[in-house]
């Protein structure tokens, strides 16, 4: 009996994510490439309780699902999941933890929502396919980001590299050779909602200029996909550098990001760029495996508060 008391009824988890190419432009219908980051996860546990509550341990928050406002992301994903399953709110305490930095471009909000859905499905003994789970998480992404592209929820739910165009089904694609990245956190929190809103306002004021920038980002993503499918890893470096130049012209880089990008390149990275909303958060550097440690050290020396090494593994998806 005691072993049951000390064990959750169910668990769920979801990884972080990085956008390799195409952020911001993806909101305007251009393609983007993203991949999961399995080195960091959000996790949810279901425990018996008198009422349905969500405890966000890292944020020191406790939310009663039945009483929380409509725009509370924790309560919203719980209620959406129950609606999808045609179940009442369960008498559960849903305990949420996350290793993924918040407001840093690694998909923390989407991963937390996906982890909650998966834990609830396990608790109910129910199933939803990835498309249905992604659609639920997307509804919560609207709270976090205002006008989300849909890429975060797609990658963290499917847990594989995807080629994504807004309004179309996500498309996994072949990765011919391992692709190694070092991810560095500036330590500057930058909610994606703010950066997306600023780009939207700038686009409305100068549509021709921003459409050209979005076209350029989309063309870079096209070329990057071909390079990844062919295993031409060195070709990705200059494409990352060019994508960073375009993002800087959009106004979403920052001095902290620029410093880390310069440090990574100086340490031998093949290319580097911001990842996600920008204005802070994380940057990514493409590295050869044997040089990853050197780039890691250089980024710490340049002021990164956290550095993660990750690899996009080969796949045979066609």
Based on the residue annotation, tell me whether 259 is a catalytic residue of this protein: no
Q: Report the candidate in 123, 114, 79 with the shortest Cα–Cα distance to residue 96.
A: 114
> Are residues 27 and 166 in contact, defined by beta-carbon separation less than 8 angstroms?
yes
What are the helix (H) ranges across 146-191?
151-158
Record the tokens describing residue 71, joined without a space: 């725009």
Comparing C-alpha atoms, which of 230, 9, 253, 12 is closest to residue 114? 12
> Cα 190 to chain center, whole Å?
13
What is the distance between the alpha carbons of residues 65 and 77, in angstroms, rounded to a whole number? 9
DSSP 175: B
Are 31 and 222 in contact by the 8 Å Cβ rule? The answer is: yes
Instruction: For helices 130-145 and 151-158, give the axis angle rounded to 10 degrees.
Output: 140
Q: Is the dihedral of CA 215, 217, 220, 225 positive or negative?
A: negative
What is the C-alpha separation between 160 and 154, in angstroms, rounded?
9
In whole angstroms, what is the distance from residue 34 CA to residue 145 CA?
17
Residue 257's nearest CA partner among 269, 267, 270, 247 is 247
**Which residue in 72, 152, 185, 241 is the catalytic one?**
152
Q: What is the largest CA-CA distance in the chain?
A: 67
> What is the distance between the alpha carbons of residues 293 and 217, in angstroms, rounded to a whole number?
29
Catalytic residues: 152
């Amino acid at each position: 009996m005691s072993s049951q008391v000390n064990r959750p009824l169910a668990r769920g988890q979801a990884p972080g994510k990085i956008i390799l190419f195409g952020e911001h432009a993806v909101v305007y219908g251009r393609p983007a490439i993203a991949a999961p980051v399995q080195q960091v996860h959000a996790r949810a546990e279901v425990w018996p309780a008198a009422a349905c509550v969500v405890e966000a341990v890292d944020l020191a928050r406790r939310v009663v699902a039945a009483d929380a406002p409509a725009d509370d992301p924790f309560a919203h994903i719980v209620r959406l999941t129950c609606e999808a399953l045609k179940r009442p709110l369960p008498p559960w305490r849903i305990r949420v933890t996350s290793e993924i930095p918040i407001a840093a471009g690694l998909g923390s909000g989407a991963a937390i929502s996906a982890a909650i859905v998966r834990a609830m499905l396990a608790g109910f003994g129910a199933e939803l396919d990835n498309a249905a789970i992604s659609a639920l998480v997307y509804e919560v992404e609207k709270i976090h980001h205002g006008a989300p592209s849909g890429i975060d929820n797609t990658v963290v739910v499917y847990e594989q590299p995807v080629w994504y165009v807004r309004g179309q089904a996500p498309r996994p694609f072949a990765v011919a050779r391992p692709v190694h990245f070092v991810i560095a956190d500036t330590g500057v929190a930058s909610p994606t909602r703010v950066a997306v809103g600023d780009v939207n306002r700038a686009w409305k004021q100068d549509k021709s200029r921003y459409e050209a920038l979005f076209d350029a980002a989309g063309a870079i993503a096209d070329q990057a996909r071909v390079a990844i499918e062919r295993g031409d890893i060195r070709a990705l470096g200059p494409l990352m550098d060019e994508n960073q130049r375009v993002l800087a012209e959009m106004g979403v880089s920052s001095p902290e990001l620029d410093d880390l990008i310069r440090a990574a390149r100086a340490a031998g990275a093949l290319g580097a760029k911001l990842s996600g909303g920008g204005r802070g958060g994380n940057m990514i550097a493409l590295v050869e495996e044997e040089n990853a440690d050197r780039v890691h050290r250089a980024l710490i020396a340049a002021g990164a508060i956290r550095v993660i090494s990750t690899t996009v593994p080969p796949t045979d998806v066609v």
